Structures are given as C-alpha cells and as structure tokens.
Chains A and B, each alone.
Chain A
Amino acid sequence: MTNVLVCVKRVPDASSEVVLTADGQSVDGRFAGFTMSTHEECAVELAALVTAAGGGEATALTLGDAEAVEQLRAALAVGCTAATHVVADPQRFGPADVAREIAAVVRDHEAAGRSYDLILLGNDAADSGDFQVGIRLAYELGRPVVNGVTHVSVADGVVTASGAGTDGYETYRVPVPAVVTILEGGVEPRYPTVPGRMKAKKVAIEERTPAGEPTGPNRVKLALPPPVPSNVQILGKGADAAPAVVDVLEELGVLSR
C-alpha cells in the first residue's frame, strides 16, 4: 500500500496574452482562463500510476480560491480518489507559507490515520516560478526530498526517482516517507474519461481554512516586459515563399560552400 499526496496549483493559462490586475499584484486570468501547471499534470499522472501499482489512495491537495476546486476535480477525474482544498487567496501566500499549509494538512491527516508515503509536487509553478515549495515542505516535515525528476516508483518502502540531470541520467533511492518534485516529460498525462469525470463529481472534497497567517510573497509588484517594436519583413506565405527565402540566404552569404 502506498498513499500519495499530490499538490497542484491553479494558474492562469499563459499560452495567450498575459494581462495584469489593476493593482499589479497578480495575473488577470479572466480572459485567458486557468489551468494546472504541466509539471503537476505529470505529478498527478505519476500519483495515479504509483497507487495503481501498489494499491493505496492518491489524494490531491490545493491551496487556492473557491474556483481552484476545478483543478481538484480535474485531478479526481484522472486517478485521484480524495481531495483537500485549503480555501484562501493564493496571492497572499509566499512559497514558505504554502509549504507550511501543506505540512499542516499532512500532520492533521496523519493524526487522523491517513499517512502519506510519498508527496509529489511540481518542480516549479507556472505562474510564480519560485522553485522551492517542495524543498521547504520537506524541511517542515523532516523528510528527504528529491527535486526535478520525471519518473517515480515505490516498492518495498523505497522510492526510486529518476530523470535527466546535470550529471547525466540520475537515479535516487530514498526510504518512504519522502517528498519528490516532478518535471514534465516523463509520463503522458491521461485524458479524463466520461466515467472518470462522473466519479470525480461525486467525491466530497475536504475544505479547510489556512492553518496560519501568511507572511506573504514579498512581492512589490508585477510588470509586463516592455513591448518590442516589430520590423519584420514577411517573405511570403507557405511553400511559395521558398524562392524569396533562398534569395535572402544568398544575400546573407550563408549558402556559399
């Protein structure tokens, strides 16, 4: 039996134009919509794979406003079986605050008899990009942490985590309970099925208030990078542009050989 907790964050979809709120404190996602960070989609998939292989429950956790329940339902539709929602304005929480809140949930659940052998998070959130919540959480709980891997499995109380790293393809083996942060690329997140979605709707999500007062993200303000004026010369559309392209290549002298 391996119980997994997977932590996800509701983030503005940054694939289209980014708009800031008037107070410059956050991204206004009302137009672009919201999603889950890609790293976390892979973490959810790994949570589903690990619990399917070893038995056990995959619990999704988020700290976010009321709408973040959407991301929990998404995780429930693809293999998680329980979910906890710390309902709070995420803009007021810095990475250390979030780590403390996750640790508080873990302690409460464990006191109530539900322990987590493995806690998965994304390596970095797509919006705040702090690169540290998982590591801070590990220190809060006194557990080992493996950072930035793409593959995870658990057998006989040992977590094997691996991925392409600085020194080549790197493998870690740590005893449970452990914290692991995930990078996208190792697994393909599954699409929710209709029965999966139906089941997700029926799960009762545990709602909580934050355990403590946040110290905040130390943010002064956000800004957009200054726009760069465009001087592009369009050579054409589609395959018909090929002669114009080769003219440019000849002009620049890159075809001489």
Chain B
Amino acid sequence: MIVVLVEKGPDGLAVEVSRETVTFARSLSEAGGGVAIDAVVVGEVSDALREQLAAYGVRDVHRLGGEAYDSFAGAAWAAGIESVLAATTTVVVMAAGTPRGNEVLAHVAARRGVEMAANVLTFGGLSPFVVTRQVVGGQALEEMRLGNRPAIFTVAGHAVEAAPAATPGAATLVEHAPDVAAADLIARVVSSEEPEPDLSGDLKSAKVVVGAGRGAGSAEGFADLVELTELVGGSMGVSRVVTSLGWRPHHEQVGQTGSRISPDLYIPCGISGAIQHWAGCSSAKAILAINTDADAPMVTKATYAVIGDLHEVVPAINAEIRRRRGE
C-alpha cells in the first residue's frame, strides 16, 4: 500500500499540492498493479474532505487524533505515521514537498533508518525503485535509488497536475490515537499567531498577473508595480525572494511553494525565472517579461520581453496606459 500524508488548508480540504501528491501516487499504484492508496490526515476530517479524497481514489483515510496533535510537532506526526505503518503493509510513504511534508517524512526516514528523496518530479521504475528529483535549486535533476522499504519521498509542488481518479475510492475513516512519547513532543509549536489571510484565490483566478522579484529592490520599490496591477485590473504575484525578504505577503508567492497561476497574461518584472518559480507560472497563456538581463530564463522562455530596468519601464508603461485612456 501507498501512504500519502495529506495536508489541509484553512477550509479543511486537501491543499492542491497534497492532491497532486495523491495523483502522483495513483500513477505509481498503476505501475505497481493497483496497490491501494491510503491518506493520513492530522486532526479534523470533515465529510467534505472524505468526499474529496474519495474522488481522488483514496481507499482509507487514517486520522491522527488526540492531544498530541493539537499543535504541530514533526516527531509526533512521524510517530502517527509509524502507527499507520505498523497496522498496514506499506511500501511507499509520500507527502507534498512542503515545509511540513519534507520535515515529517525526514523524521519518518530517520526513525526507520531508510533514505528519503526530497522534491521528486517523476519516478523511473519500480524495481529498482528510481526517482528523479530537483537538486541545485532546480537547475539540475538527480536520479536517485530508493533501495529500502518503505520508499520515502516528497513530491515537488506542481510537478503533476491534480486530477480526480477515474474510479473513486471508499475513503473509509480509520481512527488512530497513538501513544506519542514525551520525547516526540518536546519540539512542538507553543504559540502561533494568526496566519496572514489567504487571499491567493484572487491570484489563482486572475486574468492578468503582474509579477515582481528581487529586481524590485525593496518593499518601497513596489509602488509602480502596484499601480500597473491596478491599471490592468490584475493581481500581484511575486517570487520567493520577495516573500522571504518580507517585501510582500506569502499568499502572493507564485511557484512550487506558492500558487500555480494560469492567467491570459503574466508580466514578471525583475524575476529570473528559476525552475521553482516557473513551476507556478508555466500555464500562463502569454508572458511579457521585463528584465535587465536578456539571458535570464524568464526572458528566453517568455512570449514578449522588454530589456531594461523595471523602475524605468514600468512607470513608462503606466504613463502610456493613462495617456491612451485620456487621463
């Protein structure tokens, strides 16, 4: 059996990257002659979540409950997955390549003394079990052998498109309330401040997205970009550099660890086009890149490009739009 750690969003449903991971698991299952796919979920499991997982072909939904799961502890989540493994014959353990997914599966791998592959894109065969994953910040691909069982790996965000199964599963709820050792609860989240409201819904459905990366220079460097976003009636989407530096909120991040967008037009300004960013914007119908570097991957992959400093180009575009509107 294949076990997939499924993460939930604020709505209590499986997040897109977890649904992608279940979709990936189905292709493994088919290659392996139809091995069952089970989900592991921490905390509440609503009927809506079970229906969703059923549509994705999940057989059993293992729910980890109890006081140990009131706040996040990587080791406790791993202990919960171990209790699922103990009750089943599991050959593969998977999660999305999110912070939680990579952390929890690394715990499981360390406890089991087996290897783990992070950010897998494809699998190359079952015997031997070989996966291809992203290394060197996505600039190279590594073929890696997973010789031990269970094979443990995380799937890079947006490596596959989430799609429901042809034949739904039963998604039968199986309760687990494992005895979590005190040692597994030492490193536990003791306080969390409300996350920023997740406003990424607008970004995912926007017809036009104005993108901004390190080239914006600073939090203050966004004024013209925000104005352009307003003039085209679009949404702002940024690179991870921008959210890491705190220039813009995380819900605006496009890419492997952010949203996947599919606008009619994407206008990335000062974004190099790293593979993890590309993973989130490759389904844009057209791309108009603005970059000082004519050789930046974002420029060579774009439909249109302007070579120049965004702090000069963007205000000029804004002025031209206003001029044509007679403002």
Instruction: State the A residues within 8 Å of B (CB).
Output: 12, 14, 18, 20, 27, 94-96, 99, 124, 126-132, 135-136, 138-139, 142, 144-148, 164-175, 178, 183-185, 217-225, 228, 230-246, 248-250, 252-255, 257
Q: Which one of A222, A237, A254 contacts B308 once the chains associate, using CB atoms below 8 Å?
A: A237
In whole angstroms, how far apart are the Cα atoms of A228 and B273 in the complex? Answer: 13
Selected A-B contacts with CB under 8 Å, 22 pairs: A12-B136, A14-B137, A95-B115, A95-B116, A128-B135, A129-B135, A132-B102, A132-B106, A139-B110, A144-B75, A145-B75, A165-B189, A166-B98, A167-B71, A167-B72, A174-B187, A221-B143, A223-B142, A235-B306, A242-B319, A252-B264, A252-B265
Q: Are B74 and A135 in contact (CB under 8 A)?
A: yes
Q: Which residues of B contact A220 (CB under 8 A)?
A: 130, 142-145
Contacts A132-B109, A166-B98; A232 near B135 (Cβ below 8 A): no
Q: Which one of B119, B133, B313 contacts A241 once the chains associate, using CB atoms below 8 Å?
A: B313
Q: Which one of B139, B192, B288, B319 contacts A248 once the chains associate, using CB atoms below 8 Å?
A: B288
In the complex, which of the residues A12, A167, A219 has the most CB atoms of chain B within 10 Å of its own CB atom? A167
| CB-CB nearest in chain A for B147 | A218
Q: Are A132 and B116 in contact (CB under 8 A)?
A: yes
Q: Which residues of B contact A139 (CB under 8 A)?
A: 110-111
Q: Which residues of B contact A18 (CB under 8 A)?
A: 136, 139-140
CB of B91 closer than 8 Å to a CB of A: no
Instruction: State the B residues within 8 Å of A (CB).
Output: 7, 71-72, 74-75, 98-100, 102-103, 106-107, 109-111, 113, 115-116, 118-119, 130, 133-137, 139-147, 154, 183, 186-196, 207-208, 231-234, 244-246, 250, 264-265, 275, 286, 288-289, 294, 299-309, 312-313, 315-317, 319-321, 324
9 closest A-B pairs by CB: A168-B195, A239-B316, A242-B316, A132-B106, A238-B308, A220-B143, A185-B244, A144-B187, A230-B300
Q: Are A164 and B250 in contact (CB under 8 A)?
A: yes
Q: Are A242 and B320 in contact (CB under 8 A)?
A: yes
Q: Which one of A27, A240, A248 contacts B140 once the chains associate, using CB atoms below 8 Å?
A: A27
In whole angstroms, how far apart are the Cα atoms of A171 and B187 in the complex? Answer: 10
Q: A18-B139, A171-B191 are in contact. List 9 more A-B contacts (CB 8 A).
A: A96-B115, A129-B136, A139-B110, A147-B99, A218-B147, A222-B141, A232-B299, A232-B304, A238-B308
Q: Are B193 and A169 in contact (CB under 8 A)?
A: yes
In whole angstroms, how far apart are the Cα atoms of A17 and B135 in the complex? Answer: 14
Q: Is the contact region of chain B dominated by helix, strand, or loop, or is it mixed?
A: mixed
Q: Which one of B102, B136, B186, B288 contacts A27 once the chains associate, using CB atoms below 8 Å?
A: B136
Q: Which residues of B contact A244 (CB under 8 A)?
A: 306
In whole angstroms, how far apart are the Cα atoms of A218 and B142 in the complex? Answer: 10
B167 to chain A, nearest CB (A): 32
| CB-CB nearest in chain B for A168 | B195
A42 to chain B, nearest CB (A): 10
Q: Are A165 and B72 in contact (CB under 8 A)?
A: yes
Q: Are B135 and A136 in contact (CB under 8 A)?
A: no
Q: Are B304 and A135 in contact (CB under 8 A)?
A: no
Q: Which residues of A contact B141 (CB under 8 A)?
A: 222-225
Q: Which residues of A contact B115 (CB under 8 A)?
A: 94-96, 218
Q: Which one of B134, B208, B304 contacts A254 once the chains associate, using CB atoms below 8 Å?
A: B208
| CB-CB nearest in chain B for A167 | B192
A131 to chain B, nearest CB (A): 4
In whole angstroms, how far apart are the Cα atoms of A132 and B309 in the complex? Answer: 39
Contacts A222-B141, A238-B313; A231 near B303 (Cβ below 8 A): yes
Contacts A165-B99, A169-B193, A232-B301; A184 near B244 (Cβ below 8 A): yes
A95 to chain B, nearest CB (A): 8
Q: Are B187 and A178 in contact (CB under 8 A)?
A: yes
Q: Are B304 and A169 in contact (CB under 8 A)?
A: no
Q: Which residues of A contact B208 (CB under 8 A)?
A: 254
B136 to chain A, nearest CB (A): 5
In whole angstroms, how far apart are the Cα atoms of A234 and B136 in the complex? Answer: 29
Q: Are A167 and B130 in contact (CB under 8 A)?
A: no
In whole angstroms, how far apart are the Cα atoms of A136 and B106 in the complex? Answer: 7
| CB-CB nearest in chain A for B140 | A222
Contacts A166-B7, A171-B192, A219-B142; A135 near B107 (Cβ below 8 A): yes
Q: Which one of B183, B307, B315, B317 contacts A234 once the chains associate, using CB atoms below 8 Å?
A: B307
| CB-CB nearest in chain A for B274 | A14
Q: Which one of A170, A217, A223 contacts B189 once the chains associate, using CB atoms below 8 Å?
A: A170
| CB-CB nearest in chain A for B196 | A168
Q: Which residues of A contact B308 (CB under 8 A)?
A: 236-239, 241
| CB-CB nearest in chain A for B321 | A246
A228 to chain B, nearest CB (A): 6
| CB-CB nearest in chain A for B111 | A139
In whole angstroms, how far apart are the Cα atoms of A124 and B134 in the complex? Answer: 12
Q: Which residues of B contact A136 (CB under 8 A)?
A: 106, 109-110
In whole angstroms, how far apart are the Cα atoms of A173 and B185 in the complex? Answer: 11
Contacts A124-B118, A249-B321; A147 near B303 (Cβ below 8 A): no
| CB-CB nearest in chain A for B193 | A169
Q: Which one of B139, B196, B233 contacts A14 once the chains associate, using CB atoms below 8 Å?
A: B139
Contacts A242-B316, A254-B265; A148 near B306 (Cβ below 8 A): no
In whole angstroms, how far apart are the Cα atoms of A20 and B141 in the complex? Answer: 11
Q: Are A129 and B134 in contact (CB under 8 A)?
A: yes
A117 to chain B, nearest CB (A): 15
B14 to chain A, nearest CB (A): 14
